[in-house]
Amino acid sequence: MSDVIERARGALLAPAGLGEAELDRLMGRLLDHRIDYADLYFQHSRHEAWSLEEGRVKSGSHNIEQGVGVRAVSGEKTGFAYSDEIDLPALLDAAGAARAIARHGGGTRAAARRPVAGRELYAPIDPIGSLDDAAKVRLLEEVEAEARRQDPRVKQVMASLAAVHEVILVVRSDGVLAADIRPLVRLNVTVIVEGAGGRREQGSHGGGGRYAYAYFLQGDTAKGYAREAVRQALVNLEAVPAPAGSLQVVLGPGWPGILLHEAIGHGLEGDFNRKGTSAFAGRIGERVASPECTVVDDGTLQDRRGSLNVDDEGTPSQCTVLIENGVLKGYMQDTLNARLMKVAPTGNGRRESYAHLPMPRMTNTYMLADRHDPQEIIGSVSNGLYAVNFGGGQVDITSGKFVFSASEAYLIEGGRITRPVKGATLIGNGPDVLTRVTHVGNDMQLDSGVGTCGKDGQSVPVGVGQPTMLIDGLTVGGTQS
């Protein structure tokens, strides 16, 4: 709580000699023009990555990124400058540049500083040091051995282990002082298998979250990723060309929730709706999905990759109901767009780093479980597609068209799962695809902790999830017409 703020001040401000007086001086400089709101975002991040191929950990890297973003907002206008030197002269310079967004004279006064407690969703630890380097190498080697053990057709195994330790501190003109210490780990395995006639296919799996590395050593977690990657690759060796055209599509639980992220998630970000450029603009209170659908964006899940104790503007995370029983309830907001839309911020103000401006971003976006049995859902389809794993997706929030690309899918024929088909891209229209969800399963799952969302050139870690669901009509981009 306040302990996190003290630790963040110790890591970010103290080494630069930035005490209360210096923060006051910076704020004063920013607010000297007609500025409504200003903030300082201090960040120190360390990243490491290790990667294995051909049976050996051949490369590793370590990266440090640190600096301060200085933002001044006047109405809808933002002035922004940043410095990778955390020292007073550099910051005063940046403040001078940022405040030039507004005219000289007038302006607000800084409010008294008050610490704001964030949630306690993950341990404030440094995961990089949570395992010694020799053990990291051994972990990757064990994952590789497990993959090769599954089947002699496994020809290539590539595995990578990554961790981030991030400390952030936000100082705002309205007095809010907030901080967060964010661990993040991830383990990924990709395998290439070779089958009859020299046909080669690949499979991938991985996971992680806001833990120490010990997460992967629990039980069978790491080896489970290897087995799953091999399983997927072997399924793909048998895959026949996918059908082309509009079909009934059953989506499996978990990572297929990327459907929600693309179909409605981005379209419900506050900046697009404030500007009126989203296909969902002005539609609060309207039906945008079938009554079985309730979708939330929830930054408060324990230990999850997409979770945050506070967002990057110092607003505590929350669970925001986006769609309730099919009706559009709310958007995801950062402070700027919340203020312009005259609603409360929702803890969705995120930025890739101090060198980027915050904007509304998702955290963990998922659909709640309903009552159907997943086997019955599949059994109800006479001719369709069952898709259980995906690569990535993308959306045009103005036209509403979105895509996501299957990496493991099967034909459903007469209510039974029959042959695997090659990965095809599915395309739909966000504002109406969820109105064609006819069955929602009782098996809600979140993804395993591998999601990264890109918007406007900025990447942030996210989570997705959903139960098994049936969509009555989605275009499948196969080659068999």
Partner 1 sequence: MASVTETDTRGAFNVDELREGVASALAEARRLGASGAEASLSLSRGMVVTVRLGEVETIEHTRDRGLGVTVYFGQHTGSASSSDLRATAIRETVRAAASIAKYTAADDCAGLADPDTLATDIPDLDLHHPWALGSEAAIELAQRCEAAARDTDARIRNSDGASVSSHEGVEVYGNTHGFLGTVAATRHGLSCAVIAQNESGMQRDYWYSAARRAGDLEAAEQVGRSAAQRSLRRLDARKLATRRAPVVYEAPVAASLLSHFVGAVRGSSLYRQASFLLDRLDQPVFAPQVRIDERPHLKRALGSAPFDNEGVATRDRDLVRDGILQGYVLDSYSARKLKLRTTGNAGGVHNLSIAPGERDLAGLLAQMHTGLLVTELIGFGVNTVTGDYSRGAAGFWVENGEIQYPVEEITVAGNLKDMFRQLVAVGSDVDLRGNIRTGSILIDGMTIAGS
Q: Pick from 112, 282, 414, 481: which binds partner 1 (CB under 8 A)?
A: 481
Structure tokens at 355: 């060198």
- 48-77: which residues touch partner 1 (CB under 8 A)? 50, 53, 56-67, 76-77
Whole-angstrom CA distances from 55 to 158, 237, 469 are: 8, 23, 39
| Count of beta carbons in the 10 Å neighbourhood of residue 77 | 13
Q: How many angstroms separate the Cα of 392 from the Cα of each of 262, 269, 322, 424, 451? A: 10, 19, 22, 12, 9
Asked if 472 interacts with partner 1 (CB under 8 A), we say no
Residue 204 CB neighbour total at 10 angstroms: 19
**Residues 33/104, Cβ–Cβ less than 8 Å:** yes
Residue numbers 414-443 binding partner 1 by CB under 8 A: 422-425, 427-429
Using the rule CB under 8 A, which residue among 160, 364, 405, 468 binds partner 1? 405
Cα-to-chain-centroid distance, residue 408:
22
Q: How far is the CB of 423 from partner 1 (least distance, A)?
A: 7
Q: According to CB under 8 A, which residues from 77 to 96 bind partner 1?
A: 77-85, 93-94, 96
Regarding 392 and contact with partner 1 (CB under 8 A), the answer is yes
Residues between 119 and 158 that touch partner 1 (CB under 8 A) = 133-134, 136-137, 155-156, 158
321 closest CA partner among 290, 350, 351, 284:
284
Q: Does 384 bind partner 1 (CB under 8 A)?
A: no
Rule CB under 8 A: say whether 242 interacts with partner 1. Answer: yes
SS3 state at 95 = helix
Q: Whole-angstrom Cα distance, residue 154 to residue 355?
A: 42
**DSSP labels, 20-72:** HHHHHHHHHHHTTBS-SEEEEEEEEEEEEEEEEETTEEEEEEEEEEEEEEEEE
Site residues (CB under 8 A) for partner 1, limited to 248-277: 275-277
**Judged by CB under 8 A, which of 14, 100, 145, 214 binds partner 1?**
100
Binding string to partner 1 for residues 328 to 367, with x set by CB under 8 A, is what? ---------------------------x-x----------
403 part of the interface to partner 1, by CB under 8 A: yes
Closer by beta carbon to partner 1, 28 or else 60 = 60
Closest CA to 131 of 143, 118, 121, 140: 140
371 contributes a contact to partner 1 by CB under 8 A = no
The Cα 219–Cα 214 span in angstroms is 10
Burial class (CB in 10 A: 0-12, 13-18, 19+), 153: middle
Closer residue to partner 1, CB minimum distance, 277 or 302: 277
Nearer to partner 1, 30 or 424 (CB): 424
Q: Which is nearer to partner 1, 136 or 182 (CB)?
A: 136
Q: How far is the CB of 246 from partner 1 (least distance, A)?
A: 5
Residue closer to partner 1, measured from CB, 78 or 380: 78
Least CB distance to partner 1 at residue 136 (A): 8
Beta strands in 148-304, from DSSP E residues, in sequence order = 154-172, 176-194, 200-209, 244-251, 295-298
CB of 3 to partner 1, least distance (A): 27
Among 325, 398, 418, 459, binds partner 1 (CB under 8 A): 398
Burial class, 54, CB count within 10 angstroms (exposed 0-12 / middle 13-18 / buried 19+): exposed
Shortest separation between residue 296's beta carbon and partner 1, angstroms: 25
Report 189-218 residues binding partner 1 (CB under 8 A): 192, 200-202
